[in-house]
Amino acid sequence: MQIANRVVVVTGGAHGIGKALCERAAKEGAKGVCVADLDEAAGSSVAAAIGGLFVRCDVSDEQQVKQLVERAETRFGPIDLFCSNAGIGVPDVGGMVSGASNEQWNKIWEINVMAHIYATRALLPAMISRGSGYFLITASAAGLLSQIGSAAYSVTKHAAVGFAESLAITHGEQGIGVSVLCPQGVWTNMTRGQGQTPQAGDGMLQPEDVAQFVVEGLADQRFLILPHPQVATYMQRKTGDYDRWIRGMQRFRQKFI
Ligand SMILES: NC(=O)c1ccc[n+]([C@@H]2O[C@H](COP(=O)([O-])OP(=O)(O)OC[C@H]3O[C@@H](n4cnc5c(N)ncnc54)[C@H](O)[C@@H]3O)[C@@H](O)[C@H]2O)c1
């Protein structure tokens, strides 16, 4: 998938990785870029700078995701690439994996998982009938490995990876492309002010670096986009000897408590 002349939507496009994806899509010559976010001021300014369209959208609300698709398509035509990128973190509370409240678990589930399902539901039928369309789902290395200090983030990002796999397996032959973006640490609002964190172990990237990996991954139609290539080795270690991997993660966690 080349971005030039394509219609691109990026959720969470006002800040961080999403903002970098919007700017890079414009630079690559996208036909139209739609910046979707809750943050109206920042999202509008990203859109204005690249000649794009801002749509205020809460991705955890299915109706708003439908309206996002309609507004982007009214302005630019059929969406070629939907970057389902908005996401939040919820830390463990009181050092307990079950410490976050039900409200927090439900909220992170809606944003980090259901948003991908809403986007797919709104777009897939038309994409299938055209025989083309592409989803980039921003998960995280935490969705392949684990997030020390946030069970809710680990669980929802694993679910996002699982959904992306199902999407690729079920609809790939109908012309639907899928990539899942799984970085470790990236300097954004999500990580701002954090000191030495588990995800910083292999170095923090800038959002623009991540956008470069995305452009390359999309060009190759690669399912798994790993801006930190070490993650592939960690996955092999995990699947090669799960018990050893858990013991290693237990030791690793000790460094951060
Ligand atoms: N920063 C990292 O280290 C890192 C690592 C791996 C994965 N990720 C993932 O990358 C994605 C982008 O995160 P980021 O690091 O750029 O964070 P960020 O906080 O800079 O950006 C997230 C954006 O999503 C928007 N957003 C939040 N909730 C929303 C909602 N309900 N509807 C619409 N927009 C909403 C925010 O307003 C913000 O603009 C997330 O899915 C995150 O989990 C981040």
pLDDT of residue 163: 99
Q: Are 152 and 90 in contact (CB under 8 A)?
A: yes
Which of 88, 112, 214 should be mutated for ligand 1, with most atoms under 8 A from CB?
88
Tokens found for residue 82? 């939907």
CA 120 to centroid of ligand 1, rounded, Å: 19
Higher pLDDT, 257 or 108: 108
Q: Are 9 and 68 in contact (CB under 8 A)?
A: yes
Which of 69, 188, 224 should be mutated for ligand 1, with most atoms under 8 A from CB?
188
User: Which residue CA neighbors atom 36 of ligand 1 most closely?
Assistant: 12
Residue 97, CA atoms < 13 Å, CB-side half-sphere = 6
pLDDT of residue 200: 78
pTM over 0.85: yes
Q: Cα 122–114–186 angle (5° rounding)?
A: 110
| CA pair distance 42, 12, nearest whole angstrom | 10
Q: Which residues line ligand 1 (CB under 6 A)?
A: 11-12, 14-18, 37-39, 57-60, 85-88, 111, 138, 140, 183, 185-186, 188-191, 199
Closest CA to 232 of 243, 240, 167: 240
pLDDT in tens, 166-203: 999 999 999 999 999 999 999 999 998 776 677 778 89
Describe the strand order of the beta sheet including 133-138 as a list of residue ranges. 53-56, 32-37, 7-11, 81-84, 133-138, 176-181, 224-225
pLDDT of residue 201: 80
CA 232 to centroid of ligand 1, rounded, Å: 23
| Residue range 4-12: mean pLDDT, rounded | 99
Stated as kind and residue range, the H or E segment containing 55 is: strand 53-56
User: Which residue CA neighbors atom 31 of ligand 1 most closely?
Assistant: 58
| CA pair distance 151, 255, nearest whole angstrom | 18
pLDDT of residue 198: 75
pLDDT of residue 166: 98
Burial of 69 (C-beta count, 10 Å sphere; 0-12/13-18/19+): buried
CA 208 to centroid of ligand 1, rounded, Å: 14
| Residue range 19-47: mean pLDDT, rounded | 98
Return the active site residues. 153
CA 191 to centroid of ligand 1, rounded, Å: 10
Whether pLDDT at 73 is above 90: yes
pLDDT of residue 195: 60
Closest CA to 2 of 228, 223, 177, 202: 177
| Residue range 118-140: mean pLDDT, rounded | 98
User: Which residue CA neighbors atom 42 of ligand 1 most closely?
Assistant: 87
Whether pLDDT at 242 is above 80: yes
User: Which residue CA neighbors atom 17 of ligand 1 most closely?
Assistant: 190
Which of 186, 196, 197 should be mutated for ligand 1, with most atoms under 8 A from CB?
186
Number of H helices, E strands in the chain: 9, 7
pLDDT of residue 215: 98
CA 153 to centroid of ligand 1, rounded, Å: 12
